[in-house]
Chains A and B, each alone.
Chain A
Amino acid sequence: SKYKVVVPGTGEHPLQYNYTFWYSRRIPSRPASSQNYEQNIKQFGTVASVEQFWRVYSHLVRPGDLSGYSDFHLFKEGIKPMWEDEANKNGGKWIIRLRKGLASRFWENIILAMMGEQFMVGEEICGVVVSIRFQEDILSIWNKTASDQVTTARIRDTLRRVLNLPPNTIMEYKTHTDSLKDNSSF
């Protein structure tokens, strides 16, 4: 397959990592499986600089304006937003459930924090997801090593700071192994 190397343009501000945007939409009546998940998820852009990021982002629908079962993902280039990916298989994610109306703002803040390297956990971050559902929306951030409690605690603390979460927000950590076992994430 053709592989196009994405690099920052002249005079642009490079990012520490390249990131790829993905979009998926699921028909809720169908059972979730990794096979149809992979069929339904599409990547639509990789960015290497701050300026490239804004060019893609400014053309996107705000996640809070999406309907039904839709997810936006922003992952480091080369990491598929799937539990089975080499970078994710020993990992996990912090899950934040949001009442309707908050997803767009929190999604923007979490991706800016990730791209700006605000988490200070080395190579640990894999990507972030915003999941639009009927009753609530869900934000999650994936990291490589679920067993690394220092890292997961640091990610949680950074999230609280950069998102300025409402005090009653519940944050839950789930390993991808557990997600695979119960075959349900959200």
Chain B
Amino acid sequence: GTRIIYDRKFLMECRNSPVAK
């Protein structure tokens, strides 16, 4: 099945965004 893949850069950007997009 499809897997949810995130790279480090994306995960770090989520850390810095106060509101989920």
Contact = CB atoms under 8 A, between A and B. Distances in A.
Interface in A1-45: 9-16
Interface residues of A, number: 21
Interface residues of B, number: 14
10 contacts: A9-B20, A10-B20, A11-B21, A49-B20, A50-B6, A54-B14, A112-B8, A116-B7, A117-B6, A162-B8
A13 B6 contact: yes
B6, B10, B19, B21 — which one has the most chain A CB atoms within 10 A of its CB?
B6
Interface of B: 3-8, 10-12, 14-15, 19-21
B4 to A, nearest CB: 4
A124 to B, nearest CB: 12
B4 A14 contact: yes
Given A13-B14, A54-B14, A109 B8 contact: yes
Contacts, number: 43
B20 A115 contact: no
Contacts of A112: 8, 11-12
How would you classify the secondary structure of chain B's contact residues: helix, strand, loop or mixed?
A: loop
A117 B21 contact: no
Interface string A85-115: 0000000000000000000000001001101
Nearest to B17: A51
A170 to B, nearest CB: 24
A9, A16, A50 — which one has the most chain B CB atoms within 10 A of its CB?
A50
A16 B14 contact: no
Given A9-B20, A12-B20, A13-B20, A115 B11 contact: yes
Contacts of B5: 16, 116-118
A13 B13 CA distance: 12
Nearest to A117: B5
